Structure 1
Amino acid sequence: MKKKQIIVSQHDYEILKTLCYHSPGTEKLREELERAVIRKHKIPEDVVQVNSLLQFRDERSGAVREVKLVLPAASNIQQGKLSILSPIGTALLGYSTGDIIDWEVPAGKTQLHILRVINDGAGQ
């Protein structure tokens, strides 16, 4: 199945590329960045970026979660801050409201349905 093209801001792209070079276990993030459309300017408001607040549903379990996608140093799952390097964090990057993503997580394959994205304008 062909994956939908994702959108990443130039700002996020530069930070994440650097992160990939200095962190182990970033193969999936590297793959996502290689296929991304990089935008220097305005990113659609409903696209998941670093520091986006979003709500998604795991279609396998039915669980709905609200998280903020953050860089690893800011991650804190108890506070709802999901690292971009986590399997689900990497999966969500660059997709938008309404998208359903097929993704491999430690518990097996799942589908993540993005229900809502809130951006504060960072990275745009």
Structure 2
Amino acid sequence: MKKKQIIVSLHDYEILKTLCYHAPGTDKLREELERATVRKGKVPADVVQVNSTLQFRDERSGAIRQVQLVLPAASNIQLGKLSILSPIGTALLGYSTGDVIDWDVPAGKTQLHILEVMNTEMNV
């Protein structure tokens, strides 16, 4: 199945590319960045970016979660801060409200349905 094109701001792209060079386990993130459309201007408000707060449903378990997608140093799952380097964090980057993503996680294949993206400010 062909994956939907994802959108990443130039700001996020530059930070995440640097992260890929310095952190282990970034192969999936690197793959996602290579296929992303990079926007120099504002990204649509419903697109998941670094620091976005979003709500998604794991279609396999039915669990609905609200998280903020953050850089690894800020991650804290108890506070709902999900690292961009986690399998689900990498999967969510660049997708929009309503998208359903097929993704491999440690427990197997799953589908993530983005229910809402709540961006307070857009990266430029």
Same fold at TM > 0.5? yes
| Cα shift readout 1:25-66 (whole Å, capped 9, x = no counterpart) | 000000000000000101100000000000000000000000
| One-letter amino acid of the structure 2 residue matched with residue 22 of structure 1 | H
What's the secondary structure of 1:113's corresponding residue?
strand
* Total equivalences in the alignment: 124
1:44 aligns with 2:30: no
Q: TM-score, normalised by structure 2?
A: 0.99
Q: Is the 8 A contact 1:6 1:94 kept in 2?
A: yes
Q: What does residue 34 of structure 1 align with?
A: 34
Q: Which runs of 5+ in 2 are unaligned?
A: none
**What displacement does 1:123 show?**
1.1
Alignment RMSD, CA only?
A: 0.5
Alignment partners' CA distance in 2, 1:24 and 1:18: 12
In 2, the alpha carbon distance for the partners of 1:100 and 1:122 equals 22
TM-score between both structures, scaled by the size of structure 1: 0.99
**Counterpart of 2:93?**
93
Task: Report the alpha carbon displacement of residue 122 of structure 1 after superposing the two structures with TM.
Answer: 3.8
Q: Decide whether the 8 Å contact of 2:45 with 2:122 is kept in 1.
A: no
Equivalent position amino acid for 1:6 in 2: I
Shift of 1:104: 0.1
- In the alignment, the residues of structure 1 paired with residue 44 and residue 83 of structure 2 have an alpha-carbon distance, to the nearest angstrom, of 22
1:66 is matched with 66
Match of 1:57 in 2: 57
Identify the residue that residue 105 of structure 2 maps to in structure 1. 105
Task: Supply the AA of the counterpart residue of 1:27.
Answer: D
Q: Decide whether the 8 Å contact of 1:70 with 1:83 is kept in 2.
A: yes
Check whether the contact 1:47–1:94 (CA below 8 A) recurs between aligned residues: yes
- The SS at the match of 1:94 is coil
Tell me if structure 2 keeps the 8 A contact 1:51–1:122. no
Contact 1:45 1:118 in 2 (8 A): yes
The SS at the match of 2:49 is: coil
